[in-house]
DNA sequence: CCCCGTTGTCTGTTTTTCAGACATGTGCTA
DNA sequence: TAGCACATGTCTGAAAAACAGACAACGGGG
């Protein structure tokens, strides 16, 4: 995790937010830093520093903590849980579900064609 | 990211899976490694190695890529296996997301055609 | 006050990542 | 086929981050 820019000493605000959430979640389920550390196979000090935003958190570490703390990773990252799927996309997905396997193949080919065509238009 | 145990040289299977998903997602939105690298403020080689599972992915990096690739982080971690959609349907849904509104209309029309055709075949 | 469980912080060592270049692969065009 | 352009894979010394372990500090009971 050398994500924070080179000449930047101050704490990364986003990392601090992430750490707070990790800490909140841990305390909510009543787990000590040591137990969390054992779960993650890291030193306890690592947990302490992660929660303070002084140390990076690996994506897989976060996933593992998500299990231990019983929360989705999106809760830690603060993502909006909304799926953001336009209605026409949803409609297509539903329609596709009704089709036979052959027809799905045809449709997929056509979709692929449209996709490559739009690429060509963009590039040229 | 020294998450993998000390005396373990082989690739971390979970990291490899994560990398594959990152790569798939990037390719679906038609972005190059270089563009992704610019977005993350890392070298392109970092993207290459992340996708190969040879390099750790920070939690905040993953969140940033989630925005760029238009997926929830849970998709990268593999948390969202709840949907149970057949793979070809899922693929179509993803491809559709790439298309312009016009192309979606075309595709929807074609899907509708296929659906009605199969109905006719059933009834006759 | 003292104990004890828990958490915060420090330092030298180890591991990972960076930075940049070089190498490979793939598609296109003459 | 050769040549080229673009995207991606991979290597190496330098720099940064994480580890490992210890010590300090906080806080609640006895």
The b/e string for B105-118 (b: 16+ C-beta within 10 A; e otherwise) is eebbebbeebbeee
What CATH architecture applies to the domain B9-81?
A: Orthogonal Bundle (1.10)
**What pLDDT, on a 0 to 100 scale, did the predictor assign at position A11?**
75
pTM of the model: 0.68
Query: What's the pLDDT band for B96 if we cut at 50, 70, 90?
Result: low
pLDDT, one tens digit per residue, over B11-64 is 789 999 999 999 999 999 999 999 999 999 999 999 999 999 999 999 999 999
In percent, the amount of chain B with pLDDT more than 70 equals 56
Query: What's the pLDDT band for B115 if we cut at 50, 70, 90?
Result: low
pLDDT at B101 exceeding the cut of 80: no
Please judge whether A95 and B111 are an interchain contact, meaning their C-beta atoms are less than 8 angstroms apart: yes
Residue B47 CA and nucleotide C22 C1' are separated, in Å, by 18
**What pLDDT, on a 0 to 100 scale, did the predictor assign at position B11?**
76
**What pLDDT, on a 0 to 100 scale, did the predictor assign at position A105?**
62
Contacts of residue B56 in chain A, CB cutoff 8 Å?
1, 58-60
**What pLDDT, on a 0 to 100 scale, did the predictor assign at position B2?**
38
What are the extents of the domains in chain B? 9-81, 85-124
The burial class, CB within 10 Å (0-12 / 13-18 / 19+), for B120 is exposed
| A 19-38 near B (Cβ less than 8 A) | none
User: Residue A58 — φ and ψ, nearest 5°?
Assistant: -70, 150
Give the Å distances, CA to CA, from A51 to A14, A25, A26, A110: 12, 11, 10, 49
Per DSSP, the residues of B70-124 read T--HHHHHT--TTS---HHHHHHHHHHHHS-HHHHHHHHHHHHHHHHHHHHHHH-
Low-confidence ranges of chain A (pLDDT < 70): 1-10, 80-124
Rounded to whole angstroms, the Cα distance separating A34 from B1 reads 19
**What pLDDT, on a 0 to 100 scale, did the predictor assign at position A87?**
53
Residue B118 CA and nucleotide D19 C1' are separated, in Å, by 63
Contact predicate B100/A118, CB 8 Å: yes
**What pLDDT, on a 0 to 100 scale, did the predictor assign at position B21?**
96
**What pLDDT, on a 0 to 100 scale, did the predictor assign at position A79?**
85
């Amino acid at each position: 995790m050398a994500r924070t820019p080179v000449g930047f000493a101050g704490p990364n605000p986003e990392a601090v937010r992430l750490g707070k959430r990790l800490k909140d979640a841990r305390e909510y389920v009543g787990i000590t830093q040591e137990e969390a550390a054992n779960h993650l196979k890291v030193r306890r000090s690592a947990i302490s520093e992660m929660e303070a935003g002084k140390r990076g958190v690996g994506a897989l570490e976060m996933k593992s903590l998500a299990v231990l703390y019983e929360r989705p990773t999106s809760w830690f990252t603060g993502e909006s849980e909304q799926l953001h799927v336009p209605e026409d996309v949803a409609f297509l997905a539903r329609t596709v579900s009704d089709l036979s396997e052959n027809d799905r193949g045809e449709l997929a080919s056509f979709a692929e064609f449209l996709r490559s065509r739009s690429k060509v238009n963009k590039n040229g």
